Amino acid sequence: MQISDSLFRLDGRVALIAGAASGIGQAAARGLAAAGALALCADINEAGAGETAAGIQAAGGKAEALALNILDAAAVTATVDALVERHGTIDVLVSTPAVNVRKPLLNYTAEEFDKVIGLNLKGNFLVMQAVGRVMNLKKRGSIILFSSIRSVTVEPGQGVYAATKSGTVQMARALAAELGPSGVRVNCIAPGIVETPLTAQIKKSPDWYDAYARRSALGRWAQADEMAGPVVFLASDASSYVTGAVLFVDGGWTAIDGRFTPPV
């Protein structure tokens, strides 16, 4: 079999990116547009989404910006319907929004629990469901949700966040099983420690920042742009037989977690 660069091309495809105003969502939008897709940059921060879209256009790519609150079920449905009416379909969904409240479980309030569970699970479920229905009818598509290394490794203060990231994996696997007969693929990307607004708290603490860097095989944090390649892979025909999978993009963190280099 001859491998062609066209396997990774997304020319003519329509990609909706939830959370495109910053961080991993912004990097995903840029990567998808660079591969030829029309990047629909959606975010509750419409101005930020507009900046992402404008940057893509300035680089010669195709992009549009729109406001989207993935916690508003009616708005999600209406937005997806409007996009399909305008563009005919949605070929790719990338959903990245997440929030974390770093506290021991015994100190969590009910309101904090609802906040983390609400966005990380319910919000991603609502946009996944709305776009999944479109793809089910079209008999094609790729849905990419963002999990985390916290789906398999945890530490004090990360319990509720970790639960949502494990839940995201199982939710994606279930949809992969349900939509497989329609030719729709559903996968997760599980990053390690990435420099984004979500991890700004850690970056402010040099000891904490350096400790996390040492936990990966590469000895450093990831940059958000390093998530773009995995997104393009899962969106493209290069991953045509990949569904129900979790792609760890963690610099080897889960391979060597708890590492100790003995004096050998």
Instruction: Identify residue 84 by its one-letter amino acid code.
Output: V
What predicted TM-score, i.e. pTM, was given to this entire model?
Answer: 0.94
Q: How far apart are CA 13 and CA 111, in angstroms?
A: 40
Alpha carbons within 13 A on the beta-carbon side of 101: 19
CA 138 vs CA 48, 233, 249: distances in Å: 31, 21, 30
Q: How far apart are CA 54 and CA 196, in angstroms?
A: 20
Q: What is the pLDDT of residue 262?
A: 65
Considering only CA atoms, which of 99, 193, 183, 88 is closest in space to residue 143?
183
Considering only CA atoms, which of 20, 8, 34 is closest in space to residue 224?
20
| 5-247 is classed CATH 3.40.50.720 | yes
Residue 7: pLDDT band with limits 50, 70, 90: very high
Q: What is the pLDDT of residue 59?
A: 98
Residues 108, 161, 212, 241: which is the catalytic one? Answer: 161
In degrees rounded to 5, what are phi and psi of residue 196?
Answer: -140, 175
CB 99 within 8 A of CB 93: no
**Helix extents (H) in the chain:** 23-34, 46-58, 73-87, 110-117, 124-138, 159-179, 200-203, 206-214, 228-235, 253-256
**pLDDT tens for each residue of 181-230:** 999 999 999 999 898 877 777 888 888 888 888 889 999 999 999 999 99
Domain boundaries in the chain?
5-247
Q: How far apart are CA 72 and CA 127, in angstroms?
A: 10
Alpha carbons within 13 A on the beta-carbon side of 142: 28
Considering only CA atoms, which of 248, 263, 256 is closest in space to residue 218?
256
Mapping DSSP to helix (H, G, I), strand (E, B) and coil, where does residue 92 land?
strand
Considering only CA atoms, which of 235, 252, 234, 243 is closest in space to residue 191?
252
Evaluate if residue 62 carries a pLDDT over 80: yes
Residue 161 designated active-site: yes
Q: Bridge partners of 14?
A: 38
Considering only CA atoms, which of 56, 12, 63 is closest in space to residue 42?
63
Q: What is the pLDDT of residue 42?
A: 98
**pLDDT tens for each residue of 219-238:** 999 999 999 999 999 999 99
Residue 2: pLDDT band with limits 50, 70, 90: low
Q: How far apart are CA 96 and CA 121, in angstroms?
A: 11
Instruction: Identify residue 181 by its one-letter amino acid code.
Output: P
Q: How far apart are CA 206 and CA 184, in angstroms?
A: 43
